[in-house]
Amino acid sequence: MAAATATSASLFSIGSSYSSKASSFTPQSRAQAVNFNSVPSFTGLRSTSLISGSDSSSSLTKTLRGSVTKAQTSDKKPYGFKINASYKVAVLGAAGGIGQPLSLLIKMSPLVSTLHLYDIANVKGVAADLSHCNTPSQVRDFTGPSELADCLKDVNVVVIPAGVPRKPGMTRDDLFNINAGIVKSLVEAVADNCPNAFIHIISNPVNSTVPIAAEVLKKKGVYDPKKLFGVTTLDVVRANTFVSQKKNLKLIDVDVPVIGGHAGITILPLLSKTKPSANFTDEEIQQLTVRIQNAGTEVVDAKAGAGSATLSMAYAAARFVESSLRALDGDGDVYECSYVESTLTDLPFFASRIKLGKNGLEAVIESDLQGLTEYEQKALEALKPELKASIEKGVAFANKPAAAAAN
């Protein structure tokens, strides 16, 4: 078992840092804003090189073949603790375009003991397929509302990609009426069955669905703002990729914080804070910012009606799941960008870099909003009205009577 677990560890530690430590933080009912000027980078599949000394692709290939190098047989994590595969993760919407590859990536995590897959149909086949993968976690399937409570019992992390995908010509706002109701009902079940779990919201429009989830949890009397996350990791993944390509940088070293929200102009990459430091012309800043903001549409158009960004979203969501699991398991050096309840701006929810710990959100990184360029400051002010409207729309939906919300 140790060898098998270590093999998985070498394959899957998506998007986390093993470097700088933050100063001590005092947990509060709301996350403490901190000034943190030396923030580590988050760059994808890193543990392969840290464990085996090889590049990610070759180590990935070896792992898929089932071979284990001598350097990979240790049961130590890259961040210095023994691996403890004892966490239960539930994916709600596991049979969908995001849910299937996301479930596969989570199955590969050495920290997961049990993987619960839920959907309204077609999930049994997904679970059967994944159960044949020789990684330690056990897979169970749950179909329909009558089995949802059992799916959520004692779960540590709930991931919600459920909903309809975006099609050509659709904005994230077009998805609202359908996906808002789905998220509302699923979060109600989470509140009833695993109120202490970390909740990862993927269902779009995230700018509105996270506030919906918060209102549902408040009504149930179990809202903990430190455990509710809008998954905006894909914006960071895209920013890192595009900047690496544009500036010919080694991708594993690139980190671009992305703040704001998770739709259109509310997505604001802070190119001035790129690590390693890079110089951008005004034209490059404009082009990169717009491409990162519209990258979802780029995929929707390329698929020509056949779907939206499913594979990259699954990768990004798996990275955030792994970071959450590492934090739960005692790693004190886990940072990601996420859309959370925040006091960084005058908006109640805002995406920024955060520190994760055993109890969820420990701190928001205040320094990312300090020293912005004129372009970034103007873009930040420009995104606020749209993000504010999306938040208010979500809150209003959650507070409508059930009959009105269904219409």
Name the token pair of 263.
């739709």
Q: How far apart are the first and last CA of the chain?
A: 52
Is residue 136 within 8 A of residue 85, CB to CB? The reply is yes
Distances from the Cα of 324 to the Cαs of 34, 48, 128, 141, 320, in angstroms?
Answer: 20, 19, 26, 23, 6
Active site residue 262: yes
Is residue 224 within 8 A of residue 360, CB to CB? The reply is yes
Backbone torsion region of residue 360, taken as left when φ is above 0, otherwise alpha when ψ lies between -120 and 50, otherwise beta: left
Structure letter (DSSP) for residue 182: H
What distance in Å separates the CA atoms of residue 186 and residue 184, rounded to the nearest whole number? 6
Name the token pair of 304.
């020509």
Q: If we measure between CA atoms, which residue out of 177, 172, 178 comes closest to residue 206?
A: 172
116, 132, 200, 262: the catalytic one is 262
Backbone torsion region of residue 113, taken as left when φ is above 0, otherwise alpha when ψ lies between -120 and 50, otherwise beta: alpha
Catalytic residue numbers? 262
